[in-house]
């Protein structure tokens, strides 16, 4: 359980304002020296002081300020040499689980899970997709049956990133098969250490096992781990999915961050790869990447404010296409050298440093961008229906009870 003693101290004093935030951070650093404190103790103290994500409420790692004020905190802590919470290790927890818990969790659930999630002590995964329910997630068949104060869950999930490292999982399961598919779902948090949880690696094109399939065999989930009302799981799921697409397509990055940075560095560092044709393509992609970076700033602000919208689908689609084009040009420029990829032995590349990943890896990995977080085809449907207001396809499966649908 989370120790919120420092948060209690924050709430007992005068509220911290944005104008007073620099002084508040300086006072925190005076009493919490990152050079002498163990890393995890510093991160816990930072969360308890409300400096994890300042736009979250007091008691949840925040101060109730505007999200833009986070840059003040981050800059001061970076200048002091403070450790970060290694966000690349817990992308699902930080980008999807945390906002879902904030929007739909009880105060007790938030106190239990948000702190170790933010510090990285507990990794999260997402038990959504199934072999027969990927793009059409609402057709999923994993069952949750009530048994006393627990639910007994049986089913199979697939494409579960980080399941092999996760302590907790966001789980959507069917609790009423007699109603239409969107209305019979309930949302849970599943302890991945529970008996009956079987995680099996799935090897992918890059040689690593980033994804997994997960089998749930009579897994008991306490009703206290339910998010939202019974049968209202689709509403909670939409909150998670909207944040997921913003996390993938609108992640915070500096100028020339991500794939375009590797391409630009390649051009600058080796004159043998410079041609007029490749330069024209590089400039075009660089402009598109910078335009996208600036445009997605608004999406990030919407997400941290708790109001991610369907625009995240457009950003996710644009990111997928751009990353693939950038990695393709990088491979074209490198020629046969770009085909060298020496990690076919199924060892995981060092994910802590993107610079350890060769161009061949990036080219192969970007192919998955069109699938993860919702396929590009589904993103186009969302854009057409929810943003452009075009008529949706005619469907009958949304009114038929789930147990009467053909399979």
E-strand spans in 50-108? none
Q: Which of 94, 89, 101 is nearest to 117 (CA)?
A: 94
- Give the containing element (helix H, strand E) for 215: strand 211-222
Q: Which of 128, 161, 79 is nearest to 241 (CA)?
A: 128
DSSP per-residue string spanning 288-323:
HHHHHHHHHHHHHHHHHTT---THHHHHHHHHHHHH
Tokens of 280: 């024209």
Report the alpha-carbon distance of residue 32 to residue 140 in Å, rounded.
48
| Residue of 208, 210, 213, 244 marked active site | 244
- Fill in the DSSP letter of residue 80: T
Report the alpha-carbon distance of residue 161 to residue 91 in Å, rounded.
10
Three-state secondary-structure class, residue 144: strand
Report the alpha-carbon distance of residue 379 to residue 314 in Å, rounded.
7
Catalytic residue status for 244: yes
Q: Is 293 left (phi over 0), alpha (psi -120 to 50) or beta?
A: alpha
Report the alpha-carbon distance of residue 247 to residue 370 in Å, rounded.
15
Measuring CA to CA, how many Å separate 102 from each of 7, 120, 302, 316, 343? 16, 17, 14, 23, 40
Three-state secondary-structure class, residue 381: helix
- 246 φ, ψ to 5°? -70, -40
Q: Which of 86, 75, 128, 107 is nearest to 1 (CA)?
A: 107
Q: Judge whether 124 and 135 are in contact, CB under 8 Å.
A: no
Residues carrying an active site annotation = 244
């Amino acid at each position: 359980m989370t120790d919120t003693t420092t948060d209690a101290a924050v709430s007992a004093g005068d509220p911290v304002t944005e104008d007073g935030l620099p002084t508040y951070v300086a006072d925190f650093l005076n009493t919490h020296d990152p050079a002498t404190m163990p890393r995890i103790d510093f991160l816990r103290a930072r969360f308890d002081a409300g400096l994890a994500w300042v736009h979250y409420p007091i008691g949840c790692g925040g101060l109730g300020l505007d999200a833009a004020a986070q840059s003040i905190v981050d800059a001061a802590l970076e200048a002091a040499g403070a450790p970060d919470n290694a966000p690349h290790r817990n992308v699902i927890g930080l980008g999807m689980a945390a906002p879902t818990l904030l929007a739909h969790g009880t105060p007790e659930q938030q106190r239990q899970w948000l702190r170790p999630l933010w510090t990285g002590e507990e990794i999260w995964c997402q038990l959504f997709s199934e072999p027969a329910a990927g793009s059409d997630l609402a057709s999923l068949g994993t069952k949750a049956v009530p048994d006393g104060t627990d639910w007994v869950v049986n089913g199979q999930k697939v494409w579960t990133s980080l399941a092999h490292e996760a302590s907790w999982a966001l789980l959507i399961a069917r609790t009423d098969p007699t109603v239409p598919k969107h209305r019979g779902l309930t949302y849970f948090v599943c302890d991945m250490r529970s008996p009956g949880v079987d995680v099996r690696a799935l090897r992918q094109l890059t040689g690593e096992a980033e994804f997994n399939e997960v089998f749930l065999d009579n897994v008991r989930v306490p009703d206290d781990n339910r998010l939202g009302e019974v049968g209202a799981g689709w509403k909670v799921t939409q909150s998670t999915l909207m944040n997921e697409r913003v996390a993938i397509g609108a992640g915070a990055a500096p100028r020339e961050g991500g794939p375009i940075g590797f391409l630009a560095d390649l051009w600058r560092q080796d004159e043998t790869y410079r041609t007029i044709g490749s330069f024209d393509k590089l400039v075009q992609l660089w402009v598109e990447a910078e335009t996208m970076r600036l445009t997605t700033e608004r999406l990030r602000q919407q997400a941290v404010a708790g109001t991610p919208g369907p625009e995240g689908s457009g950003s996710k689609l644009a990111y997928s296409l751009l990353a693939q084009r950038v990695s393709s040009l990088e491979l074209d420029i490198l020629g046969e050298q770009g085909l060298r990829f020496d990690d076919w032995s199924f060892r995981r590349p060092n994910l802590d440093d993107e610079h350890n990943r060769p161009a061949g890896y990036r080219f192969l990995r970007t192919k998955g961008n069109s699938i993860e977080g919702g396929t590009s085809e589904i993103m186009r449907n969302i854009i057409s229906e929810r943003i452009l207001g075009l008529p949706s396809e005619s469907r009958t499966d949304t009114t038929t009870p789930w147990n009467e649908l053909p399979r």
